[in-house]
Amino acid sequence: MPTVAGLVAIVFVVSHIIPSDPAALVAGEAATPEQIAAVRKKLGFDQPMHVQLGAYFWKLMQGDMGNSLFTTRPVWDDLSGRLPATIELTLAAMAVSTLVGVPLGVVAALRRNTWLDHAVRVITVGGLAVASFWLAILLQLLFSMELGWAPLNARLQGFPPPAVTGLLTIDALIAGNLGVLGKALAHLALPTITLAVPGLATLVRFTRAGVLDVLQSGFVQYQRAMGIPWRVIVWKYVLRNALVSTVTQIGLLFGILLAGAVVVETVFDWPGIGNYAFNAIFSSDYNAIVGFTLWAGTVFILVNLLVDLAHSAIDPREARS
Amino acid sequence: MKALVFIVSRLYRDRSAFLGALIILALVVVALAAPLLVSHPDAAWAMNPQVRLRPPGGEFLFGTDRMGGDIYARVIYGARITLTIAVVAVGVSLLIGVPVGLVAGFYGHWLGEVLMRVSDIFLAVPQIVLAIAIALTLGPSIENVILALSLTYWPWFTRLVYAETQSLKNEVFIEAAMALGVPPWRIIVTHILPNVASPIIVRTSIGMGFTILTAAALGFLGLGAPPPAPEWGRMISESREHLPDAWWYALAPGLAIFLVVMGFNLLGDGLRDILDPRIRRAQHGRG
Amino acid sequence: MAAADILAVRDLAVAFASDAGLAQVLDRVNLTIRRGEVMGLVGESGCGKSTLARAVLGVLPENAARIGGGRVMFDGEDLLRIGPEEMSDRVRGRRITFIPQDPYGSFNPLFSVGDQVMEIMRWKSKRRPEGERGYPRARRAADRAEAIELLRQVQIPEPEAALSKLPHEFSGGQRQRLMIAMALLPQPDLIIADEPTTALDVTIQAQILRLLRKLVKGRGISVLFTTHDMGTAHEICDRITVLYAGQEMETAPVDAFFVRPAHQYTARLLDSLPNPDREIREIGGEIPRLIDPPQGCRFHPRCAAATDICRSQRPDERAVAAGHVVRCHHPHEGARHAA
Ligand SMILES: Nc1ncnc2c1ncn2[C@@H]1O[C@H](COP(=O)(O)OP(=O)(O)O)[C@@H](O)[C@H]1O
Ligand SMILES: [Mg+2]
């Protein structure tokens, strides 16, 4: 929590020294200097920084993140309205990275130094080096413009299934509407791939290294000497040991995904929080910027808690100590 | 010197690290020799609307952009921007991050504590978000991109050096030196710094790649060097309005970023293998 | 191979590839184990004991090890001719089980002891029909009851509770008891115990050895027991084969081995033992490099009795007494005094 508070303070200060004058933006182009000054006073921008910061924290503790200067709606409402889109995208990317990355890492380790391992290595090295916005453009060029398989931009709009979770794919599933599900997935595909690539590459590398380490250990040799089927040794025992360090990576992955979301959502016009943050930054929307930071910091800390929980699920020694 | 010979000879044997080193060497050469590689001195900035959006081939190896600029020449000159940003930003991060980590790790002083907390805060939020905020505050220019990246990357070095220093502090040879009354600054310089050098070198190489990617993202978002500077990220951003017809527009700059980042990553991996046999290849991700 | 033999290793050659070249780790080794006996394989560290054990089990490291020839006859069947899948499925863990050297590292720290014991039962229990895929409840319950009974026999306190504990909650000695139980559970014909007491405290070693001997004798199970410790071999073995630098030197019943060693190497080895009434005499010279091993008898560079023939020709087997075979051109005459 102190970390989040510190984070908010830093971003608050940084965002408030952005030289453009938000009061002028809010007041409109035709506003007179007096009108602008009035707006500034109304918004509290004439106060010294520490007073503003104190006031912000005070309101925050009452659950009020202030209003967005740009959309004029409460930042909380803006964020929660955009939350499902980001969650859907981030979870999808997380799922792809994990479900593809972990098995790929295991297989690369098992087939060490074969053409498969080398191929995986080339892909991961490439995945870590490719700029996501460039990858996005390549994907759009190929799959949207050339092949026409996936829509160019944005999230599925119009005729949404009845909102339950706010995640279109899940809601479509719940409603049993496969047509909408297909469309929602088509919209989701390219941003998900773009966002997933660096995380996937990271996970492959960690899993591979972890599995190679575990394969050397005495208990693997013992089980092999006792004739336990190799697939059982690998997928039940070795994998769990390798996952201990991979889970930490999955936690860190969330940071990568959050960062990536700002760029990927912007490129694909995805109506999520990353996109919101980007616009907020460009329109000097203090409250929105700070609100986003608060959200990102909180998510980061929550994810770390989850990682700790996952650790004790995997490693019973931790659960018992 | 001996150490350097050792590193170079080992690098030579590790094929992928060697490839990485070659790519980086090529980047440096291209950046330095840019004027010799283009047809005339202004090639990267010249605008010839009559040849705008020409596909690759003939006079224009990688095609032309929306202003009729030669993408080949612009990518060549872009290497200068990229290299400058990466070297200066990572250099400044080193200059801030290493001393802070050393002091905080060695003395564990209240100031060290505070600095570590501050670095925690920086690490708790995606670097690019902070960098965007700072770059915006300062306005779009190369100098400000460098500043934004330096201000947000130093905590990585601090963390690394801090952790290493803390564990070294309890080593027998350090404790012995302290018991002998060797002044702390000498212990730091003669005993601790050489021992943390390896991870720092590795992190520097990886950090270069990472910084180049972030800088390109800033450029892409419109926060980098203002036009007409031949900045790779911005070139990719410009291309979006001309797709799919000008398919080549983003190709060369994107490939350039890809190659250069890959070069630093491969080199970093190789250096890690050579300098730190404890840690296997592959035990790191982005960042 | 006689019907009374459970295992007969014949002229087994194994090499390891390394950067420096091929290391000839086992050179045409012969070893026989009779049904129901504890056979000791003794020799200094690095002489190839574990390599022989792994070769029998079929778990030599695939990328480095090369089998240069020979046969491993187990109950009338050459194990070197059985494919890896079948070896793992039908032989390992079922007919031949294994007790490792390191009871600390041989348990997966993340799984309960019960999980790991029952994994063996699931695949290797005598109740398992050929090719069964799942693990039916009834069989699981019966297997579990059997496991608990065996844990009791190896003197694990509160065997039922023990199954739900994690490996690190047991002492080294207890873990090795668990390993012994796991080796016995599939009711094998042969147990390969690779230095099973080396990692344990001296005080615990004797207990474990007695326990192991009692349990295998009661069941008529044969054991290949490797050790570099003569005292340990003396305590548990019926017969002993000495291995030196990848060649077997001498095989004898345990008493004859200690009282009337026939090989120059064995005699020197026994002389080097700490003995209350004699000084320790080191064996001069060094263990040879296996990449470029001595020709003939590999012991000849260190042997006082060596002659030209020792340098060129590996000695054939020579019987010096009933069941006492030596491979030496100049076997040691007469009995050693006091053992
Ligand atoms: N995986 C391996 N790769 C290369 N050489 C090996 C390997 N395993 C064992 N060796 C070599 O084989 C020889 C015998 O080793 P080992 O069978 O473990 O001896 P022991 O069990 O008698 O101590 C040693 O010289 C050792 O260095
Ligand atoms: Mg051994």
All structural domains of chain A with their residue ranges:
2-61, 78-320
Chain A residues whose beta carbon lies within 8 Å of the beta carbon of residue C97: 226
Task: Classify each residue of C199-210 as buried b or exposed e, where b means 16 or more C-beta atoms within 10 Å of its C-beta.
Answer: bbeeebbebbbe
Cβ pair A123, A132 in contact under 8 A: no
Chain C nearest CA to A133, separation (Å): 41
Specify the pLDDT at position A307: 78
> Which of C87, C98, C107 faces A226 most closely, judged by CB atoms?
C98
Q: Is the pLDDT of residue A209 over 50?
A: yes
Residues A44 and C329: their CA atoms lie apart, in Å, by 104
Specify the pLDDT at position A27: 64
Chain B nearest CA to A138, separation (Å): 8
The pair of three-digit structure tokens given for residue A263, joined into one six-digit string? 């760029």
Mean pLDDT for the stretch of residues B127-134: 78
Strand C222-227 vs strand C190-194: parallel, antiparallel, or unpaired? parallel
Which backbone phi and psi does B272 adopt, to 5 degrees?
A: -60, -45
Greater confidence (A247 vs C36) lies with: C36
Residue A233 bridge partners (DSSP) = none
The pair of three-digit structure tokens given for residue B258, joined into one six-digit string? 């890809």
Q: Is the pLDDT of residue B55 over 80?
A: no
- Which residue's CA is minimally distant from atom 25 of ligand 1? C46
Top residue of A114, A223, A226, A246 to mutate, by most chain C CBs within 10 Å, is A226
What would the pLDDT profile of A102-146 be if each residue is shown by its tens digit? 999 999 999 988 899 889 988 888 998 999 999 998 888 888 777
Specify the pLDDT at position A158: 59
Specify the pLDDT at position B277: 53
What would the pLDDT profile of B218-261 be if each residue is shown by its tens digit? 898 888 888 788 889 988 888 888 777 778 888 889 999 999 99
Residues A235 and B33: their CA atoms lie apart, in Å, by 53
Highest-pLDDT range among B106-120, B273-287, C48-62: C48-62
Q: Taking the CB of residue B55, how many other CB atoms lie within 10 A of it?
A: 14
What are the distances in angstroms from CA B286 to CA A197, A211, A299, B127?
11, 20, 20, 12
Specify the pLDDT at position B42: 73
What subunits make at least 3 CB pairs under 8 angstroms with B? A
Residue that has been written with the tokens 């310089």 in this structure: B189
Give yes or no for C123 touching A (CB within 8 A). yes
Residue B219, class by beta-carbon neighbours within 10 Å (0-12 exposed, 13-18 middle, 19+ buried)? buried
Chain C residues whose beta carbon lies within 8 Å of the beta carbon of residue A230: 88
Taking a 5 Å cut-off on Cβ, the residues next to ion ligand 2 are C 50
Q: Is the pLDDT of residue B187 over 50?
A: yes
Over the Cα atoms of chain C, what is R_g? 21
What are the distances in angstroms from CA C68 to CA A57, C14, C22, C23, C65?
77, 5, 11, 12, 9
Greater confidence (A34 vs B60) lies with: A34
What are the distances in angstroms from CA A163 to CA A92, A169, A170, A255, C14?
18, 10, 9, 28, 68
> Which of C59, C110, C123 faces A225 most closely, judged by CB atoms?
C59
Give yes or no for A11 touching B (CB within 8 A). yes
DSSP annotation string for chain B: -HHHHHHHHHHHHSHHHHHHHHHHHHHHHHHHTHHHHSSSTTTTT---GGGTTPPSBTTBTT-B-TT--BHHHHHHHHHHHHHHHHHHHHHHHHHHHHHHHHHHHHH--HHHHHHHHHHHHHHTS-HHHHHHHHHHHH-SSHHHHHHHHHHHHHHHHHHHHHHHHHHHHTSHHHHHHHHTT--HHHHIIIIIHHHHHHHHHHHHHHHHHHHHHHHHHHHHTT-SSPTTS--HHHHHHHHGGGTTTTTTTTHHHHHHHHHHHHHHHHHHHHHHHHH-TTSPTT-----
Q: Is the pLDDT of residue B134 over 70?
A: yes
Residues whose CB falls within 8 Å of the CB of residue A29, separated by 6 or more in sequence, listed in order? none
Ligand nearest C24 Cα, by number? 1
Q: Is the pLDDT of residue A38 over 60?
A: yes
Chain A nearest CA to C24, separation (Å): 23
What are the distances in angstroms from CA A102 to CA A202, A211, A256?
10, 10, 17
Specify the pLDDT at position A192: 92
Specify the pLDDT at position C272: 73
Mean pLDDT for the stretch of residues B176-186: 86
- The CATH T-level fold of domain B2-286 is MetI-like fold (1.10.3720)
Greater confidence (B248 vs A226) lies with: A226
Confidence category of residue B287, pLDDT binned at 50, 70, 90: very low
Specify the pLDDT at position B5: 81
Query: Which residues, judged by CB distance below 6 Å to any ligand atom, belong to the binding site of ligand 1?
Result: C 16, 18, 23, 25, 43, 45-51, 61, 64, 290
Instruction: For the domain covering A78-320, report its CATH number.
Output: 1.10.3720.10
Ligand nearest C54 Cα, by number? 1
Q: Is the pLDDT of residue A250 over 60?
A: yes
Give yes or no for C166 touching A (CB within 8 A). yes
Residues A167 and B205: their CA atoms lie apart, in Å, by 40
Q: Is the pLDDT of residue A25 over 80?
A: no
What are the distances in angstroms from CA B92 to CA A10, B1, B82, B96, B149?
20, 25, 15, 6, 9
Residue B182, class by beta-carbon neighbours within 10 Å (0-12 exposed, 13-18 middle, 19+ buried)? middle
What would the pLDDT profile of B11-32 be if each residue is shown by its tens digit? 777 788 888 899 999 999 988 8
- Cα within 13 Å of Cα(B240), Cβ side: 20
Whole-number average pLDDT of chain A: 80
What would the pLDDT profile of B152-164 be if each residue is shown by its tens digit? 899 889 988 988 8
Return the ligand 1 atom nearest residue C18 CA.
4
Closest chain A residue to C116 measured between Cα atoms?
A223
With H, G, I as helix, E, B as strand and everything else as coil, classify residue A123: helix
Specify the pLDDT at position B281: 39
> Which of A130, A202, A263 faces B285 most closely, judged by CB atoms?
A202
Cβ pair B202, B276 in contact under 8 A: yes
How far is C-alpha A134 from the geometric centre of its chain's CA atoms?
18
What are the distances in angstroms from CA B172 to CA A63, B109, B175, B178, B179?
52, 21, 5, 10, 10
Chain B residues whose beta carbon lies within 8 Å of the beta carbon of residue A297: 124-125
- The pTM for the full model equals 0.80
Closest chain A residue to B235 measured between Cα atoms?
A134
| pLDDT mean by block of 10 residues, chain C; 339 residues | 88 90 93 96 93 96 91 95 94 96 92 96 94 92 96 95 94 95 97 93 91 96 95 94 95 93 88 62 70 91 90 92 92 56
Give the long-range contacts of residues B43-51, CB within 8 A, separation 24 or more.
Answer: B43/B70, B43/B73, B44/B69, B44/B70, B44/B73, B44/B74, B44/B76, B44/B77, B44/B230, B45/B69, B45/B228, B45/B230, B46/B70, B47/B228
Chain A nearest CA to B282, separation (Å): 5
Q: How far apart are the first and last CA of chain B?
A: 30
Whole-number average pLDDT of chain B: 82
